[in-house]
Amino acid sequence: MKLPNAIKIGSDWWVIKMTTFEEEPDKFGECDFENKCIRLNVNQSSSDMFYTIIHEALHAAIPDLVEEAVIRYESTLRSLDIFNKK
């Protein structure tokens, strides 16, 4: 999956960086509000990467949204199973 280096969310550009999260290798991604940066774990499948970007971009777009709501939205999209549809 080819990813952009940055995405515009609202009026701000957010940088997208790939990392391994050495301290927390099971972490899929994180949304760093201070630096306007979305970090993604390189060690995940392309479908997980797709949903992780959506998850983190949703945090960036709607900072007040609680984690549970973001996870529920992500799971709803995952249930569409678009990567396995022909």
The residues that touch Zn ion, with contacts defined as CB under 5 A, are 67, 70
Please give the Cα distance from 79 to 29 (Å, whole number): 20
CB of 81 to Zn ion, least distance (A): 21
CB of 22 to Zn ion, least distance (A): 20
Please give the Cα distance from 3 to 50 (Å, whole number): 9
Nearer to Zn ion, 67 or 85 (CB): 67
Please give the Cα distance from 2 to 36 (Å, whole number): 20
Nearer to Zn ion, 23 or 67 (CB): 67
Question: Which long-range contacts does 69-72 make (Cβ < 8 Å, 24+ apart)?
Answer: none
Nearer to Zn ion, 2 or 26 (CB): 26
CB of 47 to Zn ion, least distance (A): 17
